[in-house]
Every structure is written in C-alpha cells, then in structure tokens.
Structure 1
C-alpha cells in the first residue's frame, strides 16, 4: 500500500515522502495516528500543495531542535553516587536520572530519546547522545563523582 507521510517516522521516511508499506501497518498505525495518509490520486494532487506546508513545518522543527541542541550541549550534569574503592558504583546512572536532571535545568526530554546503551556503572566523564526531532542529535556531558 502506498502512503504519504505527514510526519517523520523513524526507519520509514520523512515528511512528504511517498513510501510503500504493508496495508495493516498503514491502516492500524500510521493513518489513525495522523502520521500518514493514503496515496490515492486526490491525495497525490493535494500533496504538491501540502509539501510546501510540510517543508515549512520541517524547517520550524529543525530550528527548534537546533536551539534545543545548543541548550543541551551547554549543560553539564553531575551525579554523586556511592562508589567502591575501584570506582564501581553501588547502583548506576540511568536514562531516567539523566532525564530528571535535564528537567531540573528546564529541558523536557522523553527518557526514551536519551541513547544510553547500558546504565553507567563507573565513575568518570561521559558523553551521552540525545535524539531530538528532525534527526538532530545532541550530546550531553555527564560527570559521575563519588558521594561523600
């Protein structure tokens, strides 16, 4: 089934792109979620008009994401956790804690967008990527220090 994307869909395409997907995926997920519309002749004609609007929407989304990226990269998060003598933490620093620390700084990010392959379990400095809309990736600086 051919559909026209009205939003960026990860691993599928970008706004305004016409893609072919399985009918069930389109009918049950993409179209009801407002992420796509069916690519019938009327919608294909309408696509030309909507493409200009979607490009403006993407441009605003990209500008907002770039601004958010600058805010995130200017920030440095410090976590104080109890640690053993060898530098291993009793516990770990998770994406949920990083998300809470960003929220304290006034930056609301879904914790699922914080790309932490596994929790941080040792002391030190880390660079953690954060996925933002429009394919923008920011990097937040994390410092894990021993608690006193």
Structure 2
C-alpha cells in the first residue's frame, strides 16, 4: 500500500484484494503496487519519501478541514407541500454549493450514501484525506426565508400544516357564522 485506504490497510501493508479492485482502483490511482520482489525493494527505498508526501497531504487536508468543519450551506430546491423534493440533492449539488461559498472540495470527497429527497437540515461527511473527515450541514429549502427558519430550528413542514389547519378552521367557522350560500341568496336575481 502506498497510502491508507479505509477498511483495507495503511502505508507499507501487503494486502490481498480481488484482481478487479487492484486493476481498476488501487493501481491506476497510485494507492498501491503489486507485491512483487522488485516493487517491494523500490517501496523500501522510497518509503521515507512516501510517508513524507502522505504527511504533507494530510497537513493540507487538516488545514482545509479547519475552514470547512461545521459550516452550513443552503441549497434552494422546489418541493411539494409534504416536504418531498421534485428531484434530489446529490454529491455534485453539495460540491457546487461549497465551491460557490468559497470552499474547496471535490465531488468524490463528499460522502453521501443516498441522495437527499426531503427539505430540512442534513449532516454530510466530507473525506478530505484518508485520515481527515469533517462534517458539514446542508440546509435544503424552497426559499431563503424558509432556509433561515430551518436554521433557527423550526420545522417548516409542521408549521405549514399548522397554518393550513388554522386557516381551514377559520374558513369553517366563517361558513357557520354567515351561513353557507347566504351571499348568493341575498343577490338580486336577474333573468
């Protein structure tokens, strides 16, 4: 291994993986070498350089992590009354929001297991380096006003249902008070 790969190994480890994983991922991305005697000798000769390069990359990732950790980004999307999005928010959308706000992150660094399909504030992991992971928040809303209300902790979907319920009760009370259809009966009939 030339660098740490999660759930696999760290620098210098000799691990057994399936051929396809090695051929399609580890070898082309220079994360590992085949464990031949020639490659093991080359690795031992360059081990200090590889460890130093990894430490420099980790230090850069930690610096970026200090700027990124705990930040919140707003993504405006259209949604139905129940809070379901018309579409979804994926890793590319999160990456675009971070870059637009001045942060630096790549799409493959955003760890989003499933796309976001509802309104609300969602926690997302960003893996800047194999050993550096930060958490950011994405506030998915229909408008900036709604995003501000969600950021303050309000459940806008529940609030909307409550407003609709109160409006329906007021309309029902108005109908009982004035009598349904009374305005039509009072109007003069023209033939």
| TM-score calculated relative to the size of structure 1 | 0.75
Count of paired positions: 143
Q: Any unmatched runs of 5+ in structure 2? A: 146-191
Moved over 6 A (4+): none
Q: CA deviation digits over 1:5-34, x for unaligned, max 9?
A: 2234454322222234456765x4545654
1:109 to 101, 105, 111: 105
Q: Any unmatched runs of 5+ in structure 1? A: none
Q: Which has the larger radius of gyration?
A: 2
Structure 1 window deviating more from structure 2 (99-108 vs 118-127): it is: 99-108
Contact 1:61 1:134 in 2 (8 A): no
CA distance in 2, matches of 1:23, 1:87: 44
RMSD (Å) for aligned C-alpha atoms: 2.7
SS in 2 for 1:7: coil
Structure number with the higher helix fraction is: 2
Q: Judging changes above 3 Å, is the alpha-carbon distance between structure 1 residues 25 and 63 closer, same or farther for their aligned structure 2 residues?
A: same
| TM-score calculated relative to the size of structure 2 | 0.61
Partner of residue 86, structure 2: 90
Give the C-alpha shift of residue 99 in structure 1: 0.9
